[in-house]
């Protein structure tokens, strides 16, 4: 008892400090660092470029021009998807600035300056001038954290817009994605536009992802294609957050793929 | 130099424990807020310095193994909060804290900025390796693992570990020097108070 009391007299303060430090770090961990991102938001506020109405309109105009260029390049069957793309972008979305990136070297995240106060929820889809960028995985009152489709753990159901060949796109932690096809001999060419497929549960269908840059048809067990993103995530400065409810199950149960159960990110 | 604690009863904000807590917690907060930013000029291949690792090394250099481990745990939990809890950063930062404290630098090495930079370089490589090992184990042990294949993980590890180590070791003195000056100063005044 005496030993215990002596120990307590000596180390009470230290123990208290350790308990407080660990407990507050654990609290941060439970709340997914919301307080930290709020602080980051307020501190970087002066250097965040103001996204006023004029700028928004200007950005929309640039976006429209970019889409027209894509349209001219594309004069083929992907025109239909392209119109869908315009439609999806014209849906009421929340425009947000990119104020930060992942807080370590292994994850591919973006931090946006719009959060639950502006109506952002977990699961919402984030698009940028190049097409789909990722989905919101955490929100605080004024910031949201986006898991990019370039993250190594990300899986998106996708298809070739020209030939409707299905596959799964996964990230590689750089500006290129890999698309694995389900078929042995897919109808795909260099330059084809890749869009999200209707089998994607976490993303709405027919959002553009990128273009085929290189095809490895001999790859085992399934052929693969390298996909070049239209806009590298490192240079994206602003994005649009669109509301989307992740589906619980795929809409068409008639065509089932063995890869179906692990084709989406968690 | 006047000691921080005078014989009278100063208000709590002038007492040394309060100032020390403020400096310590404030520097951690500063490191945390530097993490998501990619300030032009201090990133290399899209990789920024590992500020939390630098802090853990600066903390552990003149402290015991246990203190290093606890600092690693707390900062690891904080980094988990800002990214994702799996793979956990607590393990890599605890390893870095424990190894740095085991080095007992003040006994064998002269105190200078170069040796700190070297320690940070080594610890950055070790910390990234611990993370890569966690991912590898997950890949090997669970069937539905979403992580890429092992060759890809380790290729990526090479790139990240090297850039992170170079950048962190270059920026280590910027954090180590002021923090260590403060802790040294506090230690000195603490001893003066005891005697």
Count of CB pairs separated by less than 8 Å, A with B: 100
Neighboring chain A residues of B83 at a CB cutoff of 8 Å: 102-104, 106-107, 109
What six digits make up the tokens of A22? 């660990």
Chain B residues with CB under 8 Å of A36 CB are: 32-33, 78, 81-82
**pLDDT greater than 80 at residue B192:** no
Check pLDDT > 60 for residue B64: yes
Identify which has the larger pLDDT, B107 or B52.
B52
Among A213-222, B17-26, B59-68, whose mean pLDDT is lowest?
A213-222
A46 touches chain B (CB under 8 A): no
pLDDT level of residue B75 (50, 70, 90 thresholds): very high
Half-sphere exposure at residue A172, Cβ-oriented, CA atoms within 13 angstroms? 17
> B147 and A33: CB-CB below 8 Å?
no
Asked if the model's pLDDT at residue B3 lies above 80, the reply is no
Q: What is the structure's pLDDT at B53?
A: 92
Cβ–Cβ gap A25/B75 under 8 Å: yes
How confident is the model at residue B1, as a pLDDT?
A: 46
- Nearest CB to A43; choose among B33, B70, B89: B33
pLDDT of residue B43: 76
Nearest to B79 by CA among A171, A172, A109, A98: A109
The residues on B that touch A, with CB distances below 8 Å, are 29, 32-33, 35-38, 46-48, 50, 70, 73-75, 77-85, 87, 89, 128, 131, 135, 144, 146-148, 152, 156, 160, 164
Whether the pLDDT of residue B149 is over 60: the answer is: yes
CB B14 within 8 Å of CB B8: no
Tell me whether A47 touches chain B (CB under 8 Å).
no
Residues in chain B: 195
Rounded-to-integer distance, Cα B149 and Cα B136, Å: 8
Cβ(B161)–Cβ(B153) below 8 Å: no
Residue with tokens 């390298």: A226
* Residue in B with minimal Cα distance to A17: B21
Residue B191 belongs to a domain: no
Report CB contact under 8 Å: B128, A99. Answer: no
Is residue B189 in some structural domain?
A: no
Q: Which of A24, A103, A176 to mutate to test the interface with B (most CBs of B within 10 A)?
A: A103
Give how many domains chain B has, as a whole number.
Answer: 1
Q: What is the dihedral of CA A124, A41, B33, A120, to 10 degrees?
A: -10
Nearest CB partner across the interface for B148, out of A172, A262, A265: A172
CB contact under 8 A, B83 and A173: no
pLDDT score recorded for residue B106: 61
* Nearest CA distance, A217 vs chain B (angstrom): 19
Question: What would the DSSP string read from start to end of B7-19?
Answer: SS---GGGSHHHH
Q: Is residue B108 part of a domain?
A: yes
Residue B2 lies inside a defined structural domain of this protein:
no
B108 to chain A, minimum CA–CA distance in Å? 28
Of A36, A37, A152, the CB nearest to B147: A152
Which residues in chain A touch residue B158, judged by CB atoms under 8 angstroms apart? none
Does pLDDT of B126 surpass 90?
yes
The answer to whether the CB atoms of A40 and B33 lie below 8 A apart is: yes
Question: Considering the domain boundaries, does residue B84 fall inside one?
Answer: yes
* Residue-by-residue pLDDT tens, chain A, 266 positions: 788 888 888 888 888 888 998 998 888 888 888 888 888 888 887 777 666 666 766 777 777 777 667 666 665 555 555 555 555 555 578 888 888 888 888 888 889 988 888 888 888 888 887 788 888 998 998 899 999 888 888 888 888 888 888 888 888 887 788 888 888 888 888 888 888 887 778 888 778 888 888 888 887 778 888 888 876 777 778 888 888 877 655 444 433 444 444 444 44
3-state DSSP assignment of residue B84: coil
Range of the domain at B69: 12-182
CB contact (8 A) between residue A18 and residue B70: yes
Q: What is the pLDDT of residue B39?
A: 77
Please give the pLDDT value at position B42.
79
Cα(A191)–Cα(A173) distance, integer angstroms: 22
**A44–chain B Cβ distance below 8 A for any pair:** yes
DSSP output for chain A: -HHHHHHHHHHHHHHHHHHHHHHHHHHHHHTTTHHHHHHHHHHHGGGSPP--HHHHHHHHHHHHHHHHHHHHHH-STTHHHHHHHHHHHHS--EEEEEEEE-SSSS--EEEES--GGGT--TT-EEEETTEEEEEEEEE-SS-EEEEETTSTT-EEEEEETTT--EEEEEE-SSSEEEEEESSSS----TT-EEEE-TT-SSS-TT-EEEEEEEEETT-SSS-EEEEEESS-GGG--EEEEE-----SS-S--SS--GGGGGSS--
pLDDT value of residue A263: 41
CATH code assigned at B157: 1.10.1760.20
Is the Cβ–Cβ distance between B49 and B171 less than 8 Å? yes
Is A155 an 8 Å CB contact of chain B? yes
What is the pLDDT, as a whole number, of residue A260? Answer: 41
Q: Is residue B187 part of a domain?
A: no
Q: How many CA atoms lie within 13 A of B16 on its CB side?
A: 18
Q: Is residue B1 domain-resident?
A: no
Whether B74 is covered by a domain: the verdict is: yes
Cβ atoms A141, A125 nearer than 8 A: no
The pLDDT, as a whole number, for residue A131 is: 81
Structure tokens at A255: 């065509």
* Site from B45, B59, B63, B83 to mutate, A interface, most A CB atoms within 10 angstroms: B83
Q: How far apart are CA A251 and CA A204, in angstroms?
A: 12
The pLDDT, as a whole number, for residue A230 is 72
Two structure tokens written together for B79: 């980094």
Of A64, A229, A197, nearest to A131 (Cα)? Answer: A229
Q: What is the pLDDT of residue B96?
A: 92
pLDDT of residue B98: 92
Mutate which: A37, A106, A155, vs B, most B CBs within 10 A: A106
């Amino acid at each position: 008892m005496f030993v215990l009391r002596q120990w307590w007299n000596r180390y009470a303060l230290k123990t208290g400090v350790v308990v407080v430090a660990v407990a507050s770090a654990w609290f941060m961990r439970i709340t997914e660092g919301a307080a930290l991102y709020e602080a980051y938001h307020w501190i970087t506020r002066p250097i965040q470029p103001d996204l006023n109405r004029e700028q928004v309109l200007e950005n929309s105009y640039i976006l429209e021009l970019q889409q027209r260029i894509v349209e001219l390049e594309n004069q083929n069957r992907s025109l239909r998807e392209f119109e869908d793309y315009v439609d999806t972008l014209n849906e009421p979305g929340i425009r947000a600035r990119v104020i930060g990136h992942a807080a370590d070297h292994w994850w591919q995240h973006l931090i946006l300056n719009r959060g639950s106060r502006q109506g952002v929820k977990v699961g919402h889809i984030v698009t940028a001038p190049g097409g789909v960028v990722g989905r919101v995985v955490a929100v605080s009152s004024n910031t949201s954290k986006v898991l990019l489709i370039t993250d190594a753990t990300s899986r998106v159901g996708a298809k070739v817009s020209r030939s409707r060949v299905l596959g799964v796109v996964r990230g590689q932690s750089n500006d290129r994605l890999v698309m694995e096809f389900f078929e042995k001999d897919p109808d795909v060419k260099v330059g084809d536009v890749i869009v999200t497929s209707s089998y994607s549960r976490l993303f709405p269908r027919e959002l553009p992802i990128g273009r085929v840059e290189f095809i490895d048809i001999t790859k085992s067990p399934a052929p693969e294609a390298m996909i070049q993103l239209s806009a590298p995530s490192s240079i994206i400065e602003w994005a649009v957050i669109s509301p989307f409810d992740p589906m619980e199950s795929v809409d068409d149960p008639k065509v089932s793929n063995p890869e179906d159960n692990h084709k989406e990110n968690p | 130099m006047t000691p921080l604690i005078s014989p009278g009863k100063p208000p709590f904000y002038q007492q040394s424990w309060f100032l020390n807590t403020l400096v310590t917690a404030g520097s951690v907060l500063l490191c945390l807020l530097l993490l998501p930013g990619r300030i032009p000029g201090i990133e290399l291949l899209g990789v920024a310095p590992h500020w939390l690792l630098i802090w853990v090394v600066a903390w552990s250099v003149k402290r015991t193994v246990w203190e290093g481990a606890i600092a690693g745990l707390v900062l690891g939990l904080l980094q988990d909060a800002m990214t994702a809890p799996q793979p956990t950063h607590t393990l890599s930062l605890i390893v870095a804290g424990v190894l740095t404290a085991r080095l007992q630098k003040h006994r064998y090495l002269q105190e200078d900025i170069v040796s700190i930079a070297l320690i940070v370089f080594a610890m950055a490589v070790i910390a990234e390796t611990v993370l890569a090992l966690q991912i590898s184990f997950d890949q090997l042990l669970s069937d539905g693992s979403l992580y890429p294949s092992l060759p890809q993980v380790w290729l990526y590890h090479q790139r990240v570990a090297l850039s992170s180590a170079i950048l962190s070791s270059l920026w280590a003195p910027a954090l180590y020097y002021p923090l260590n000056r403060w802790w040294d100063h506090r230690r000195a005044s603490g001893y003066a108070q005891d005697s």
